[in-house]
Chain A
């Protein structure tokens, strides 16, 4: 994989459903994987930074896992709420200062 890919591109879930989406990134020369949440009319907000294979991070109902050997990360949201509606971005960093962002997954949580 040359670029960072995210799937699905968008999804709609009902309030209370749990959901997950995927970020795929080049596994060679991996340094760190970042997740951001971008709500409409707001700035992207950092959720997690993960560096080690097998890392798991959790913030409230949101958690993420990392597999650096195969080059993917999952983001999970348990019991989705309308305020979780946002675009979720992942970004891979190979070292230095630069990030390569995926196109994002747009989540809509319907009440």
Chain B
């Protein structure tokens, strides 16, 4: 079975802190994604990566950066956390072919106080 793991299920940080969310997948997938999910809204894409050291902005990249130094690991960085970044963060990976089905991690619920 594909496994996508995220470093924390729950995280509480203070405004202004630098926050790292880690995601690891074990299926050698080329593509990895970071989403956030807020009540009443769909999953919104923050960043994605289709290869090591490659990254593309999603729909809401402001306030975030990412790092992909190894194929299996994709990190989301909040350079200076703000209260409006309180959310559920989901990581996903997918193969490039054939169906692009995404496999999700369990999510990290981040609270910024």
Contact = CB atoms under 8 A, between A and B. Distances in A.
Contact of B31 (A36, A46, A97): A97
B94 A34 contact: no
A14 B44 CA distance: 32
B99 interface: yes
B42 A102 contact: yes
Given A89-B42, A97-B31, A49 B90 contact: no
A3 B50 CA distance: 24
A67 to B, nearest CB: 20
B43 interface: yes
Contacts, number: 57
22 contacts: A3-B42, A32-B99, A41-B106, A43-B4, A43-B90, A43-B103, A43-B104, A43-B107, A44-B90, A44-B102, A89-B42, A91-B42, A97-B31, A97-B48, A97-B100, A98-B58, A99-B45, A101-B44, A103-B40, A103-B41, A103-B42, A104-B42
Interface of A: 3-4, 9, 32, 34, 36, 41-46, 49, 89, 91, 93, 97-104
